[in-house]
Amino acid sequence: MCVPEPLLERWEPLELLAAEAARARTGSGRLVLLRGATGTGRTALLEAAADRATEHGMRVLRARCSPEHTSVPFDTVVQLLACGPEFDLGGETPDPPGTPPHRGRAARLWRRLSSYAAESPLLLAVDDVHFADDDSRRWLVEAVRRIDRLPVLLVATERSQYDIDPPADGLAHTLSPALVRTRTLAPLSADSAAELVRSARGGAAPPEFVDACLRAGAGHPLLLRALLDDLHGAGPDALQATSLPDTCAALYPGGYSAAVSWWLDSAGPATTETARALAALGGVVQVPHSTHGARHAPSPHRTKAQVAPLRGPSSGTPRARTEHRGHRTGLAQHPLAEDDPVAADAELLARTADADPARVAGWLTAMTRLGLLRPDTEGRLRYAHPLLRDAVLSGWASDRRQAAHRRAAEAMLHRGDPAEAVAGQLLRCGPVGEAWATSVLLDAAESAVRDDRSDDALACLRRALDEPMPTARRTVVLTELGSLEYATVCSTAGIPRLAEAMRLPGPPRERVHAAVALGTALARRGEARAAVDVLRGLRDEHLTDHPDLVRTVQTASALLSDHDQGVRQEVYRWLRETAERSPQLVGTAGQALLVRYESTAGLTSAAFAMSRIRALLAQPADPLAEAFLLGTAAAVAQWADQLDEAERLVQRGLAGQRVSLLHPMHLALVNTRIDIAAARGAYEDVLADPAVRWPDGGRPESANALAQAVVALVETGRTEEATRLADGFDVQRAHETWELNRFLYARGVLRAATGDPAAALDDFLECGRRQSARDVVSPVVTPWRTASAECHLALGRPHEALALAEKELCLATVWNTPRVLGRALSTLATATAGRRGLDLADRAVRLLRQGVVGTPGGTPVRAAAVGVPDGTSASKAGGGSVDTELIPALVAQGRGLAAAGERARAREALREAAERAERLGASRIRVIAEAALRDGGARRTTTALTGPSALTAGERRIAELAAQSRTNTEIAQQLHLARRTVETHLTSTYRKLGIRRRAQLATALMGGGSPEKG
């Protein structure tokens, strides 16, 4: 224990006590009443007065009152006067009712006091007189009226703190002011409290540490000294730290927590319950109207510069409700976290603590004046320090705490608070057993899912299962919970939940949701056959009378079979045979999957595929099957270079998805979104996509997203980062899916870019082998043949390169779009060389520079019927920039022209390639084009790094929406991007356009020059 420090800021009451003691020694006594809140040092001041009295020859008689002895008659007076063995009242019988004060025991006690006073001047020190028994209080009051003629000074301490329970009358309530001198002790000022802290540290202390101690001690000597004692006991490191812990568990030996508990006990059970209820609500409460009188009154232990004005509850507070909300109203961003505050007020606090609202409002005002509560920057009252809040909560019985949370939830529901806030209280109490609790928890879960707060959603859904609900609703909750657990906890966590949802005898539609989610989870873990078996079992046993649900299950089976080569062949064989006999049995989504299959198998053209897809989209679709149709159509449209149409389909599909439900098409739609960005050459968009921006150094869930990220990093010149990312993917442990093939291709691109064509060729050929085994031969999925041909050329094997390039061109001609045709022609040109090679390069550039309308009627073009295309029958790209293929085609053309001696034309082609690459942000191919320019003896002119032409496709798209007064949130929602991605793109756009404000965007985008910066 630290050595007791001298009394601080108590000189005035000490001088008063000294003067009154001197007056008493002359024969005229009086009552000095020392009042103050718990912990302000009343007892220490009383002891100091007693010591001084002893030094001046006065006899000190002491009594310390306690609540345990309030029922013992004259207990306090007996403590005062029982100073020797001769004092014995044990044999006395109580005075009969109505006995006058000057008779009986009271009279004998007065005579005893008088006899003591005759011997020497007296100081009667009564501590905590508010706990005195009734007989002693009456005796002391009567004594005060008579000691003005005796050398007796009565000094009593009395607690004067605003509590929830109205206090009893004070000792001086019936006394004349002439008989009493009263002093009320305030908490220490900031300067004195800081001096105490610095003294405990032995000198200087960091300001932040001093401030933390002041807030945790609230200027109360009791709390502050207990805190410093604990820090001293915890070792020198604790006392020399620059900050305080937030929990009492870090303090030793626990004197601070004990002091707070004693402070609460002194305040009574109602105040204790209110203080703890406030702490349970997050330690935050809206400042009630009754505190307005304290608006300009600083807390006694705070300097004026620290005082923030208090304000009442906002008149604009919306009517609270528990249905879904699209905005937040003054709540923390994550309102379900343990320490997040609730926007409470005095009425809510009162209902939570089961106390009188009027008294609670007054208590909040009093605690603010005492420094235990402080207004934050938003005017809400908080405990002055988290350590103080933790100490208030310690020792609260679990059942009482849970009951308080339930009362808070009911009160918040009654006043219309958001579901998230009400659910935050339900999470901290036991089952309610009423329907409203279930509804609130599910509403809060949905809001959390919408705001991408999966941890909060999981907590609400798990807690909802403790409440009663119909079987159908329980099936839905289990399905959503299992989906979220699979996606956010681990790959096996949610499977038992999903299996339980399937076993429940719920409605068929909900069981289909559960089965599709379970199948998706199993397939992603490499158990595609088990996934298909789950769906088949549900179809055969429970869906015989629901043909629409049967079609949905069959479509889901086909999509999930992509995770296993053998299962895929079985499912698509059945799908093709069924569609030939009875197309209605497979539905529009199933027919769309067949179009996708034929597209990847090289059996149809882009024009014909898109005509069929559009016809299917025009037909009515089952609600459950619509996602499959949209996702499949988006993939085909992206392959057909109809990127704008594909993007719209992706947006429709994602908008109709519940992201909290596992669904095979959700990841497919996300993959297509990333593929669209990659096709446009919007590499920063690829890297900024939420599916690619993985947290904590991990990797994306989708191997396709990982692959596209690797390619984007390579194309933007960040090969080291691409290598680290690719090295983190274990090919040996990966499941047999088409996404693995995409990763092998991406790793081949990386190896080729880093000067290892042999290893790259291995990856490309393995990708091709796996794809061919899945009947995927069209270059529209992964152009592994052209990539392999380039590696053969680098390794000096032109014959092998030529064979692959010719095969690629043959297949590209079937699909017949500028992208695949131009790429195939360009590679074949390089492999062929000579005048014919140059002719092929010219055709590639011409085709990529301007696509023309395809074959009338969209008739599929068969590979056997075509030769080398001249660009007159390729399907026109719809909103699909082909710069990613045009730039390397220009490089191939420029090299061919240089080899043919046409240096002027060569420089023109290479310069255009370099400029296009710079605008695209494709630094890898730009470096190649610049090197070719230098080899030809030319210097590349500097391309524009600023202005509208310097914007990438993604930057322009976001800038145009921002110029239309869309908010960042609205843009992010429309484009299915993270808000941070939108902000990053706009920052880059402002820099390139030379502007500083959003209002300048429209003018700058029109090429009007950089507006004047303001």
Most confident of 318-322, 432-436, 736-740: 432-436
**Which residues have a Cβ under 8 Å from the Cβ of 47 and sit 6 or more positions away?**
125
Q: Per DSSP, what are the bridge partners of residue 156?
A: 33, 126
Instruction: Assess whether pLDDT exceeds 50 at residue 776.
Output: yes
For residue 957, what pLDDT is reported?
86
Instruction: Assess whether pLDDT exceeds 90 at residue 981.
Output: no
- Find how far residue 133's CA is from the centre of its chain: 56
Tell me the backbone φ, ψ of residue 32, rounded to 5 degrees.
Answer: -110, 120
Task: Quick: pLDDT tens for 541-598.
Answer: 777 788 888 888 888 888 888 887 888 888 888 888 888 888 888 889 999 999 999 9
What share of the chain has pLDDT > 90, as a percent?
A: 52
**Which residues have a Cβ under 8 Å from the Cβ of 509 and sit 6 or more positions away?**
549, 624
Q: Which of 123-132, 269-278, 447-456, 533-542 has the lowest mean pLDDT?
A: 533-542
What share of the chain has pLDDT > 70, as a percent?
A: 85
Instruction: Assess whether pLDDT exceeds 80 at residue 799.
Output: yes
More confident residue, 731 or 851: 731
Nearest to 912 by CA among 881, 940, 884, 876: 940
Mean pLDDT of 64-91: 81
Nearest to 95 by CA among 107, 85, 82, 104: 104
For residue 862, what pLDDT is reported?
35
Most confident of 301-315, 338-352, 779-793: 779-793
Q: Which of 73-77, 298-302, 423-427 has the lowest mean pLDDT?
A: 298-302
What DSSP assignment string belongs to 586-608? Answer: THHHHHHHHHHHHHHTT-S-HHH
More confident residue, 438 or 381: 438
Instruction: Assess whether pLDDT exceeds 80 at residue 540.
Output: no
pLDDT band at 122 (very low <50, low <70, confident <90, very high): very high
pTM of the model: 0.69
Tell me the backbone φ, ψ of residue 373, rounded to 5 degrees.
Answer: -120, 150
Instruction: Assess whether pLDDT exceeds 80 at residue 306.
Output: no
Cis check: omega of the bond before 67, within 30 degrees of 0: no
Q: Which of 136-145, 277-286, 729-738, 814-823 has the lowest mean pLDDT?
A: 277-286
Task: Quick: pLDDT tens for 13-29.
Answer: 999 999 999 999 999 99
Mean pLDDT of 404-418: 92
**Which residues have a Cβ under 8 Å from the Cβ of 942 and sit 6 or more positions away?**
none
